[in-house]
Chain A
Amino acid sequence: MRVNFTVNGRKQEADDVWEGESLLYVLRERMGLPGSKNACEQGECGSCTVRLDDVPVCSCLVAAGQAEGREVVTVEGLADFAKQRAGQSGCASGACGGTTVDAAKRWQAKPQSADGQTGEQVELAPIQQAFIDAGAVQCGFCTPGLLVAADELLERNGSPSDADIREALSGNLCRCTGYEKILDAVRLAAARGENSAAGQGA
């Protein structure tokens, strides 16, 4: 079958999709977006978390056909997603008052750069920068899913308590860090969001 949906603001189409293929498989293997990770294939680990019409989902549990005509945001589009949000609400981290579903859907990502490999001069979402700065990345396999989930948390709740962070990220397994630095990263992004919001008088 053929499926059409929007990924990171760009229309995408995949042909010859077998009915049993997941959204994760189509993203990774047919659309050249391997950022979302496959670590359990049964919705337990959260490594494949993407936003589907703004809602965080385990893309391994979504049949590709279910995404037909819908909007998907993956880790590859997170920086542009945050930038777009900042343009509309003055709040890149998302941690300054929330974004409506409509606003989230309206954003358009710029085309993917051909080489993201050097890691130089890449514009990052605040949560991405916070993960690097706080030492929340070790092997990094859980990172894409955690970023999507943490970004969505901060969009809903600009100053989450530790218990709020733990609850929101409890569907994302990490085996390297012991989670302490992931908590640090979310606290850091929230604090930076509050600071920038205060600076803008928001």
Chain B
Amino acid sequence: MGVTRTPTDLTQGGRTGAGIGASTLRPDGTLKVTGEFAYSSDMWHEDMLWGFTLRSTTAHAEIRSIDTSEALATSGVYAVLTYDDLPTDVKNYGLEIQDTPVLAHGKVRHHGEPVAIVAADHPETARRAAAKIKIDYAELPVVTDEASATAEGAPLVHEMRDDHHAGHVPHPNIVHRQPIVRGNADEAAKRADVIVSGEYVFGMQDQAFLGPESGLAVPADDGGVDLYVATQWLHSDLRQIAPVLGLPEDKVRMTLSGVGGAFGGREDLSMQIHACLLALRTGKPVKIVYNRFESFFGHVHRHPAKLWYEHGATRDGKLTHLKCRIVLDGGAYASASPAVVGNASSLAVGPYVVDDVDIEAIALYSNNPPCGAMRGFGAVQACFAYEAQMDKVAKELGLDPVEFRQLNAMEEGTIMPTGQPVESPAPVAELLRRIKAMPLPPEQQWLAAGERADVRALPGGLSNTTHGEGVVRGVGYAVGIKNVGFSEGFDDYSTARVRMEVVGGEPVATVHTAMAEVGQGGVTVHAQIARTELGVQQVTIQPADTRVGSAGSTSASRQTYMTGGAVKNTCEAVREKVLEIGRGKFGTYHPAWATAELLLENGKVVTDGGEVLADLADVLEGGAVDLELEFRHKPTEAFDLRTGQGNGHVQYSFAAHRAVVEVDTELGLVKVVELAVAQDVGKALNPLSVVGQIQGGTTQGLGVAVMEEIIVDPKTAKVRNPSFTDYLIPTILDTPTIPVDVLELADEAAPYGLRGIGEAPTLSSTPAVLAAIRNATGLELNKTPVRPEHLTGT
């Protein structure tokens, strides 16, 4: 071993035509298939130490004392740090509310909270030294649900709250509350011929990205630190890290390393500050890599939720009203809870027209694991409930569930419960039509290969539990709505720097952003946009870092819209600048310089009619045009805290699913046979990647439906299944064929008309599978995940 491993440029050539709309291949593909791609856990530096985090073994306790002496005396150990070693007065961090201690201070509030950190010359030495730290805990009673959180005399998870939500919540154990009231739901209910209600429970899901939290902090000669890390938003991390270290932001230089998936789980900090503290204390590079067990404690999860819904409808199938209450468990720290509440409440009605609503969503503080961002947050939980309700109402009315949804489907021009009009295509009915029109997989598909049953295609699979006896098929439908981009008045922007020059006679573009490539393919799309806008073939994508302005988060289905939009915007400015230079030099030679619309194509300035006006090499003459610009979407407003009214959202994304399942009713085993999707993407910048996102999101929804749940002991608030042995995610055997039908109806307000796509498929996948299982079994099934005992009643 010799050289330091760090992220590098990605350079990709491309045929003409490898611009937007083409399925160009990933510029990092070769590195990823050869094992050369430098993930954060692959970072390596001469003389580096290994960091390890000691976490609480109990969910709620006072810390009476911590004794680190034996750990410090261990051979090979370079540092052991606790709360008392934090260098400045800033000892907490957080995305919106700074309530999360860097290291526990006098108290732990959830199982697995970081208490001390160790640096040693071998990861096992660090682990064993940490085990020698003696902590005296005095157990405290735990808050685990709404009842225990708001009971009289309930322990307060956070005493002395002074955050900006503290003033309007009904109880200090409620992080945020958002009502949405429009029309008069009580009056409208009188018009209803049927009223249907239900209580739904959504389990705690884990992002389960495959690359655990990791990174390398390298102390620098100027007293600062260079941090290589896997995250979703470099500048958000930076804003939280620098004050704790007592360093100005320009002395904490962050570079994105290879990210092994994210799905919301990397929005909050994990090992970032810990690695920096150890590196600055020891003067040596420090690498921290969580294992899977620790990863389950190292990031927030999807909020588990309880949802109470009441819908009414007239005999002719029109919804009259919605009353609902959504209780999300945010766990010990706020993380993204306020935004999750905003999404859950404002999208609680789903993609339907309901004029009279009375909605309330809250997030709790509890001693359960902290919950925050995960793909589709807030909207996922609501969709599970409102889609179950749609089937129930349709059944009550004797209507076809798809036709009933179509009767009530929102469309362009619909007014949302927040009072915001929908200002771009909302093809909800059309997506349902498409999904229903797809051919169904053949009955008894396990016989497809021949006369004998292929057990691999049956519930139970290779366990060989049935050859078709007791197996019943069911079909279910669902559709959902997700907001795209940061909502509720947030100043959401991205930044792109683009440089254009002629090298060796060939025009090349260099794109530099701080966008976190987490696997979604942003780097692929940036190269396509640069080719389209600048007429180049070769594009270099520089590593994302904090030397360039913020790109915002790789979250909320926003990056292609926002950083894609920023790259487009800067490319257009670069092109204008190039043309301006050209006009200055050659404008008098040809009238088209003044009159025609000019483009850059293959290193030449051409008219929109294709006439060549100049060679770029002559325009730029060895110089370069290099610009860095910010890009914003249209501004949004906060929701009124009493009525929930306000133009809070930027754009919506819609997907519909049809699930086909086969259920072994005797053993309670489910085989999902097919999950068909139709989604409007506005414009598919890279169709191959679009389909990949839709299939991936669909599969995460499938996981929640039938297997995924973090199980927290209701008495102790301790996590029972922090491993891939006990927390199951879908394997290739659990995942069915996923045919995808992509619709492209442009949103005129968005770059190229595109729609953010990453989250919508995760919404409707889960309720479609549940609907199919209900259809097969006739059972109510109001909880995720569906387990065998729910189907057999045992």
Contact = CB atoms under 8 A, between A and B. Distances in A.
Interface string A22-38: 00000011111111111
A167 B35 contact: no
Contacts of A133: 25
Given A33-B35, A144-B35, A132 B456 contact: no
Nearest to A133: B25
Contact of A166 (B11, B207, B456, B723): B456
A67 interface: no
B479 to A, nearest CB: 19
Contacts of A128: 33-34
Contacts of A75: 33-35
A29 B258 CA distance: 17
Contacts of A117: 8, 31, 36
A135 to B, nearest CB: 4
Given A140-B32, A140-B37, A135 B454 contact: no
B147 interface: no
Main secondary structure on chain A at its contact with chain B? loop
A140 B209 CA distance: 11
Interface string A164-188: 0111011111111111111100000
Given A42-B723, A139-B210, A175-B729, 6 more contacts: A18-B124, A30-B1, A39-B260, A40-B292, A170-B731, A173-B724
B519 A76 contact: no
Which A-B residue pairs are the 7 nearest by beta carbons? A35-B35, A139-B519, A141-B260, A140-B32, A178-B695, A119-B30, A178-B699
14 contacts: A29-B44, A75-B34, A118-B8, A129-B33, A135-B25, A143-B33, A163-B456, A166-B732, A171-B731, A173-B724, A175-B208, A175-B700, A179-B735, A180-B735
A20 interface: yes
A141 B39 contact: yes
B39 A182 contact: no
Contacts of B454: 163
A131 B33 contact: yes
Given A37-B260, A128-B33, A139-B518, A173 B689 contact: no
Contacts of A142: 210
B29 A137 contact: yes
A78 B263 CA distance: 30
Contact of B210 (A30, A45, A147): A45
B131 to A, nearest CB: 14
B627 interface: no
B723 A170 contact: no
B695 A180 contact: yes
Interface in A26-76: 28-42, 44-45, 47, 74-76
Contact of B10 (A29, A74, A119, A171): A119
Nearest to B122: A18
Nearest to A130: B33
A44 B732 contact: no
A35 B212 CA distance: 15
Contacts of B211: 37, 39, 139, 141
Nearest to A118: B11
A174 B26 CA distance: 18
Given A39-B212, A132-B33, A44 B723 contact: yes
B289 interface: yes
Interface of A: 18, 20-21, 28-42, 44-45, 47, 74-76, 78-79, 116-120, 122, 124, 128-129, 131-133, 135, 137-144, 147, 161, 163, 165-167, 169-183
Contact of A47 (B34, B122, B210, B462): B210
A122 B34 contact: yes
B429 to A, nearest CB: 26
B732 A169 contact: yes
Contacts of A175: 207-210, 261, 263, 696, 700, 729
A139 B699 CA distance: 15
Contact of B732 (A29, A37, A41, A179): A179
B258 A41 contact: no
Contacts of B9: 118
Given A34-B5, A42-B292, A166-B456, A139 B259 contact: yes
A29 B287 CA distance: 12
Contacts of A29: 44
A30 B1 CA distance: 7
B733 interface: yes
B28 interface: yes
B521 interface: yes
A79 to B, nearest CB: 7
A25 to B, nearest CB: 8
Contacts of B23: 135
Contact of B30 (A37, A132, A171, A173): A132
B645 interface: no
A116 B35 CA distance: 9
Contact of A178 (B26, B519, B735): B735
A66 to B, nearest CB: 18
Contacts of A147: 33
B449 A161 contact: yes
B698 A178 contact: yes
Interface residues of B, number: 73
A40 B723 contact: yes
A173 B729 contact: yes
A143 B207 CA distance: 18
B457 interface: yes
B41 interface: yes
B476 interface: no
A166 B291 contact: no
Interface in B682-696: 688-689, 691-692, 695-696
A74 B520 CA distance: 26
B21 to A, nearest CB: 15
A132 B27 CA distance: 10
Interface in B247-304: 258-263, 289, 291-293
Nearest to A124: B33
Interface in B1-51: 1-2, 5, 8-11, 23, 25-39, 41-42, 44
A78 B9 CA distance: 24
B287 to A, nearest CB: 10
Nearest to A121: B30
B527 to A, nearest CB: 13
A163 B9 CA distance: 39
A37 B729 contact: no
Contacts of A129: 33
Contacts of B8: 117-118
Contacts of A45: 210, 292, 724
Contact of A32 (B1, B212, B695): B1
B37 to A, nearest CB: 6
Given A132-B29, A173-B729, A167 B456 contact: yes
A140 B289 contact: no
Contact of A135 (B5, B209, B689): B689
A101 B565 CA distance: 53
Contacts of B33: 75, 124, 128-129, 131-132, 137, 140, 143-144, 147
A35 B42 CA distance: 8
A132 B26 contact: yes
B725 interface: yes
B124 A182 contact: no
A37 B210 contact: yes
A30 to B, nearest CB: 8
B695 A173 contact: no
A138 to B, nearest CB: 4
Contact of A139 (B41, B124, B261, B449): B261
B737 interface: yes
Contacts of A38: 41, 212, 289, 291
Contacts of B261: 138-139, 141, 175-176
Contacts of B260: 37, 39, 139-141
